[in-house]
Amino acid sequence: MCTTIEHAERVEHLLDNAHLYHSRLDKHERNFNLENWKNKGKFLVSVIAASEGFDFPSADCLVLFRPTRSPTLYEQACGRIARLHPSKKNGLILDYGGVIDSLGLPYDIQVKKKGAVTHKECKDCGAANELNTVYCNGCGRAFTHKCRGCDKVLIFGEKCCEQVFDRYKKLTEKATTLKSRFKPLKKITLHKHTSRKGNECLKVVWWQDDFNSLAVEYFTFKNKEFNQFCDAIYKTKVDSPINLIGSEPVNMPKEILTKKIDGYVRVVSLKFF
């Protein structure tokens, strides 16, 4: 288990008979690597993709190449080698991240289990109401919440000062506090690119000016992020990311906010005004 995908790729490069298993690989490539590892491999290098919902009972060694303070992640990782199998007598944990010092031995892990919320309780009369209820069925009191941007008290379901388009979700006015981190955008260029694995993909370069780029992103498939990128800027639908090359932006952002995710600079928010 490694810290980031970039870290995992470096570790895999240094090991003999190792196979990658992480979220950036497509489903078929992950399954192919997994089967090769199960049949004749020695190391399966992952970040967290193999920590949950992954079952291979004969696995007998866990190497923690990452620190974590999450008891849940630690428990899930240890569970990969805790399965009983006739071919093994015990499981070995090699801890290079100080996890045992932070969270204790595997059998000392304490994970807080959170129960599912099935109703909301009125603070005035104590009546139980369905989660989407606006007014209490017992006393008629309105359920309220505060706007994250201006702290205005709103009735449940009301919206206030949403001003910034975000790739993953709409942000409230609170995002304007990050104004100093937004950078002006001059243009976007699209290029055809071939990845190290030989896959054709769309390369998107976000330019601050004619010589300095703010971010470079790659889209191989029509996933959620690519669809939101198309809808926000080009207002069009394409069958493949490469088919977007040659299209002119319809709604050009004025500023963008970038963030480093898994070792890569990604565009996470756009401003159009």
199-220 per-position pLDDT tens digit: 899 999 999 998 889 999 999 8
Helix (H) / strand (E) element for 261: namely strand 255-261
* Overall pTM surpassing 0.85 (yes/no): no
Share of the chain above pLDDT 90, in %: 20
- Tell which wins on pLDDT, 227 or 119: 227
- What does the pLDDT average to over 117-123? 73
Q: Is the pLDDT of residue 265 over 90?
A: no
pLDDT digit string, tens, across residues 161-211: 654 445 444 444 444 455 557 889 999 999 999 887 788 999 999 999 988
Quick count: other Cβ atoms within 10 Å of Cβ 31?
12
Helix (H) / strand (E) element for 264: namely strand 264-271
Question: How confident is the model at residue 161, as a pLDDT?
Answer: 62
**Planar angle of CA 33, 39, 44, nearest 5 degrees:** 45
Question: How confident is the model at residue 205, as a pLDDT?
Answer: 94
Question: How confident is the model at residue 207, as a pLDDT?
Answer: 93
Q: Is the pLDDT of residue 125 over 70?
A: no
Q: What is the mean pLDDT of the chain?
A: 82
- Tell which wins on pLDDT, 38 or 169: 38
* Listed residue (195, 192, 181, 199) closest to 267, CA to CA: 181
Question: How confident is the model at residue 99, as a pLDDT?
Answer: 87
The pairing of beta strand 187-194 with beta strand 200-207? antiparallel
Question: How confident is the model at residue 95, as a pLDDT?
Answer: 92
Please give the span between the terminal C-alpha atoms of the chain, in angstroms, as a whole number.
43
Question: How confident is the model at residue 149, as a pLDDT?
Answer: 63
Burial (Cβ within 10 Å: 0-12, 13-18, ≥19) of residue 175: buried
Question: How confident is the model at residue 163, as a pLDDT?
Answer: 44
Sign of CA dihedral 30, 33, 38, 41: negative
Percent composition of the chain: helix, strand, coil (DSSP 3-state, to 5) = 25, 25, 50
- What does the pLDDT average to over 135-155? 80
Question: How confident is the model at residue 112, as a pLDDT?
Answer: 57
Q: Is the pLDDT of residue 66 over 60?
A: yes
Q: Is the pLDDT of residue 44 over 90?
A: yes
Structural domains in the chain, sorted by start: 5-108 (3.40.50.300), 115-160 (no CATH), 180-271 (no CATH)
